[in-house]
Amino acid sequence: MRKGAEKLISGDKLIAFYKSSVTAGRIMAHRNNDEPSKLREFLDGDLFKGLLPFLGLIVILGVMYYLTDGRIMQPKRVRLLLSQVYYPMIVATGVFFVMTLGSIDFTEGSTLGVASIVISELSFYSIPLAILGGILTGALIGAVNGFFHVKFKLQSFIVTICTMYLFRGVCAYMTTETAIPASASIKALDSDGLKIGITIAVLVVAYFIFKFTRIGNDVKAVGSGETAARFSGVRTDKVKFLTFVAAGALTGLAAFVNVIKVGSITATAGNQLETQILISLVLGGLPITGGAKVRFSNIVVGTLMYTVLNNGLVMLGLEAATQQLIKGIVFLIFVALTIDRKALKVIK
Amino acid sequence: MSVLLRAEHIDKRFGITHAVNDVSIDINAGEVRALIGENGSGKSTFCQMLCGIYTIGGGTFTLDGQVMNVRNQVEANRLGVSIIVQEMGTLSGLTVAENIFLGHEDPFMHYGIKDTRAMIREGQRLLDEYGFNNIRAGAMIDSYNFEDRKLVEIVKATYMKPKILIVDETTTALSQNGRLELYKIMDSVRADGRSVIFISHDLREILERSDTITILRDGEYIDTVNSKDVDEDGLKRLMVGREIGSAYYRTDYGTEISPEVVLSVRDVTVPGQIEDVSFDLHRGEILGFGGLSECGMHEAGKAVFGASLERYGSVTLADGTAINDIPTAIKHSIAYASKDRDNESIILNESIRNNIILPSIDDLAEHHILSGGKLNRFAQEYAEKMQTKMQGIHQFVSDLSGGNKQKVVLARWIGKGSDILVLDSPTRGIDVKVKQAIYALMSELRAQGKSIIMISEEIPELLGMSDRILIMKDGKINGEFKRSESLSEEDLIAKMV
């Protein structure tokens, strides 16, 4: 049974919300006969697609604010919310580059699990060694993905699903007996300042690479048109391999942030992280086809949106099944609205 | 003569581009009507509205007294309009017969189950009737080459005797034999009292094959003339709206080729494509490569650029640098424009800017850092230098016409300052005005001492532009000609077949 009536969403509010959204839908669907294509053109335009994630974040925040009577904006709630943003945002940054290639990576969850184990074990010797170990573990898994993707010309979709099972298995095997504890000294590092610091540093460096270096440009070029990029002098195989390595390394770094937060690692560490990241980035407006139309803001907006949505649904006291259902619907609507139909092709 | 198709006030906009602007034409029964104009003049858009690929932006098509109101190509087919398109129009993964009857499977359906054997039988009967008996109706379409697939498309578009047959730039994809087959079909459509709308950039072909010619320019109707009453220059004038100078090709003869060799190709073999190809490229020379489309000349261009996937033999520059991969080739001042422009030369889903800067990115970076303003200025400079028709450098290349895409390709290599340019079919599918600009650019580059390898399927272009011509046959070099006024098309053809 659910407890605490104040936590529950009142029936009236749900009905009011439903009514207003139906009205909004009618307004959206209304077509003026004199200008039949203007609205359509705007909805299909790049400007709207670019703004949509920001609008979405505001709408979701607004809706959650309304439904929770403003409780979601209480300082302690905001702090809790932010604490759930750090490591997904770091992971999402790496996956952002993979998806810009037009590829996909399903190994974040299992990578995070394995890297967390390595970090916990090494944390008893030296903290810097533990961090390094985590990053290297992630990079190594990324290298395995990249190697099979590039050398055997397998689609990243297939490769990373296989390696996801593989490393999930490794993670489960190492944690069969008992959960793996981390040292007290690493847990003592847990502070908002450090976590914010690492997250911002990752974002800044990644933004710089994405915007102002050749490798960032090459990643985008491969995503937009791999053959033409190759004929323009881009070493496409190298770019793809390095991107997977970098994504793995970032997940390894995120594992460090995870370990200082949770303190001990169980078989379920990082479970379902890959879908969370994928949903976040798509919510943030990242076209799943990658290429020219990706925006760096996709990472930040998307991760925030997912976390707000997730937290709001929990605060509303909805059952897990209902939460999943609602998340599924929101995800579907966003993919339908943001996907670039002109660039549709199979994910590499 | 009775009017078969009446187009009234046809209009279409794409964003701010007015692709077709209030065009009204009548097409008579029993005529071949050519539709000509430069790239972007609206002729393809016009036809694609007629056959249901695009929705009609405004105006009406009346076919045989009945207003057409079609939502897709299949409905247009049923009313009697079919099209053979410029690029690949068959679907991979289906059999030849399934391609022929795509969208018209009903006669072969029994209670929702397809009678495959009846379909193949009927398909084969049609293929035999057309005289294409080397194509098997039951085979997968993928087992045939581009040309045979085009023939399948011709069957698909014509077997149900359409009232209007649209032939959109199909002939560029066909060899002489294939063209003759297509002409026969066009003639039979005319003889039946039906009509053909014929789009081609080859004005000679237009004059030979059409009865009347309608000229469009920038989406607007200009004029309709009888083919008997005009010549090529007259048509060019109507298309461009001004006099085209006679300096279309180079006019100089007898200039010495510099003895300085800039690139040596020795015993280059690409399995299944080319065999033991050796030649030298001299400074300031335009070296033409000709042959039939499967002769290996396209692969030879790729080999020089280091783009072949499996290659033996050597490609070396004058300073001894070996060219074995694309980044090395680009770094050492080799440029390449592919015949397959949309896949290999440009990134369609990218901006003009990012396409132009891509090979030059290392040169533009300062201490490995890129500055947006500098990249913009670079792209702007070279896009303007090539007189690219665009809304701005951030416009996507996919919006541009074929000629403007090629300008973007050339802009990036001019910007890179490449000394050796490998241009594969540089004027393929490009209109007169841009063609002229490309030839002028080639002459200018040649005068600057740059060397050009020009691979071309157009013999007049080879004769008109090259200092030296190599003809390939079955993957080998089969003949070499020096530039000369007395050199004729027949001389080259004799070495090709």
> Are A81 and A308 contacting, i.e. CB atoms less than 8 angstroms apart?
yes
- Cβ burial of B17 (10 Å; 0-12, 13-18, 19+) is middle
* Strand extents, DSSP E, B440-475: 451-455, 468-473
Question: With bands split at pLDDT 50, 70 and 90, how would you rate the model's confidence at B62?
Answer: very high
Q: Which of B210, B240, B270 is the last residue of a domain?
A: B240
H/E stretch holding B403 reads: helix B402-416
- If phi > 0 it is left, if psi is from -120 to 50 it is alpha, else beta; for residue A289 that is alpha
Name the nearest CA neighbour of B469 among B445, B488, B447, B444: B488
Give the bridge partners for B261, in sequence order: B282
- Residue B254 domain-assigned? no
- Dist. CA B172–CA B174, nearest whole Å: 6
Q: Count the neighbouring beta carbons within 10 Å of the beta carbon of residue A41.
A: 12
Give the bridge partners for B454, in sequence order: B288, B423
> Are B58 and B134 contacting, i.e. CB atoms less than 8 angstroms apart?
no
CATH of the domain at B445: 3.40.50.300
Shortest CA gap B170–chain A (Å) = 25
Q: Which residue of A has its CA nearest to B344?
A: A228
> Are B12 and B57 contacting, i.e. CB atoms less than 8 angstroms apart?
yes
Mark whether B213 and B352 lie in a shared domain. no
Mark whether B161 and B285 lie in a shared domain. no
Mark whether B201 and B346 lie in a shared domain. no
Q: Count the neighbouring beta carbons within 10 Å of the beta carbon of residue B443.
A: 18
Phi, psi values for residue B317, rounded to 5°: -85, 170
Q: Find the chain A residues whose C-beta atoms sit closer than 8 A to any C-beta of B.
A: 41, 211-214, 217, 220-221, 224-225, 227-235, 291-293, 340, 342-343
The three-state secondary structure class of B18 is strand
Q: Which residue of A has its CA nearest to B306?
A: A231
**ipTM score of complex:** 0.79
- Residue B256 domain-assigned? no
pLDDT at residue B1, rounded to an integer = 67
* Domains held by chain B: number: 2
pLDDT at residue B142, rounded to an integer = 87
Amino acid identity, position A304: L
Mean pLDDT of B108-128: 91
* Residue-number span of the structural domain to which B68 is assigned: 3-240
Rg for chain A (alpha carbons), in Å? 21
**Of the partner residues A211, A217, A342, the one whose CB lies closest to the CB of residue B398:** A342
Question: With bands split at pLDDT 50, 70 and 90, how would you rate the model's confidence at B305?
Answer: very high
Contact A230 B331 (CB under 8 A): no
Q: Would you mind telling me the total number of residues written for chain B in this entry?
A: 497
When scoring B347, B395, B396, B397 by the number of chain A Cβ atoms within 10 A, the one with the most, hence best to mutate, is: B347
Per-residue pLDDT tens for B374-421? 999 999 999 999 988 888 999 999 888 888 999 999 999 999 999 999
**Of the partner residues A217, A225, A233, the one whose CB lies closest to the CB of residue B327:** A233
Mark whether B373 and B294 lie in a shared domain. yes
Q: What angle do CA A274, A278, A282 make, to 5 degrees?
A: 170
Half-sphere exposure of residue A198, counting CA atoms within 13 Å on the CB side?
25
**Of the partner residues A217, A225, A234, the one whose CB lies closest to the CB of residue B348:** A225
> Are A108 and A273 contacting, i.e. CB atoms less than 8 angstroms apart?
yes
Question: With bands split at pLDDT 50, 70 and 90, how would you rate the model's confidence at A31?
Answer: very low
Amino acid identity, position B28: N
H/E stretch holding B298 reads: helix B297-304
Per-residue pLDDT tens for B306-359? 999 899 999 999 999 999 999 999 999 999 999 988 889 999 889 999 999 999
Contact A225 B371 (CB under 8 A): no
Share of chain B above pLDDT 90, in %: 56
Amino acid identity, position B238: L
pLDDT at residue B377, rounded to an integer = 95
List CB contacts (< 8 A) between A214 and chain B: 361-362, 365, 368, 370
Phi, psi values for residue A331, rounded to 5°: -60, -50
User: How does the average pLDDT of chain B come out, rounded?
Assistant: 90
Question: With bands split at pLDDT 50, 70 and 90, how would you rate the model's confidence at A8?
Answer: very low
pLDDT at residue A54, rounded to an integer = 87
pLDDT at B285 over 80: yes
Mark whether B199 and B276 lie in a shared domain. no
Q: Among A272-276, B36-40, B231-235, which range has the highest average pLDDT?
A: A272-276
- Dist. CA B294–CA B297, nearest whole Å: 8
pLDDT at A29 over 70: no
Per-residue pLDDT tens for B200-252? 888 888 999 999 999 998 888 999 999 999 988 888 888 877 655 555 788 88
Contact A230 B307 (CB under 8 A): yes
- Residue B249 domain-assigned? no
Quickly name the fold that domain A50-338 has: ABC transporter involved in vitamin B12 uptake, BtuC (1.10.3470)
- Residue B413 domain-assigned? yes
Measured between its terminal Cα atoms, the distance across chain A in Å is 46
Domains in chain A: boundaries: 50-338
Q: CA-CA distances (angstroms) from residue B190 to A169, A202, B268, B280, B355?
A: 71, 69, 49, 50, 45
> Tokens for B336?
């390449």
Measured between its terminal Cα atoms, the distance across chain B in Å is 44
Share of chain A above pLDDT 70, in %: 84
Question: With bands split at pLDDT 50, 70 and 90, how would you rate the model's confidence at A334?
Answer: confident
- Dist. CA B441–CA B242, nearest whole Å: 20
Q: Find the chain B residues whose C-beta atoms sit closer than 8 A to any C-beta of A.
A: 15, 305, 307, 326-327, 329-331, 336, 338, 343-351, 354, 358-359, 361-362, 365, 368-372, 396, 398, 412
Q: Which of B177, B207, B240 is the last residue of a domain?
A: B240
Question: With bands split at pLDDT 50, 70 and 90, how would you rate the model's confidence at B479?
Answer: very high
**Of the partner residues A212, A235, A292, the one whose CB lies closest to the CB of residue B327:** A235
